[in-house]
Amino acid sequence: MADRASRRSASVASMIWAWLFVALLAALAIFQIAVAAGAPLGRFTWGGAHPGVLPAGLRVAAVVSILIYAVMAALALDRAGAVELVPDDVAAAGMWVVVGFCVFSVVPNAISRSAGERYVMTPVSVALAVLALLVALG
């Protein structure tokens, strides 16, 4: 009985971490949609090389980022047990890839020449990395 309660508690925690992870990805997706649509937010992305509206190629990259976020969100929700999209071992392995991706993303944000990217996106990247790790361990 105690084992069941322990598993349920871990499952609830994993679900919370996964939904927080997805919420943060959704916020980033909204940002990427704005960037792709031509909002002058370039100082927060791509090292701030284009402080206003991004050029067409980078706007396409923003759309690709949204697709990557969707895959990351799906893996997190699957790993936490909110949905069943792929076999459990695939979700587990995929979530560790997501952890690596999120951890790796902290470095370029932290060393960005753009103050906006450093001060806004670095904490977001750290939060994503921590949440991804918690989901992966779930």
pLDDT one-digit tens code per residue, 50-74: 999 999 999 999 999 999 999 999 9
> Which of 25, 4, 138 has the alpha carbon at shortest distance from 82?
138
> Which of 66, 53, 43 has the alpha carbon at shortest distance from 117?
43
pTM of the model: 0.90
- Please calculate the CA angle 83-20-108 and round it to the nearest 5 degrees: 110
pLDDT attached to residue 138: 87
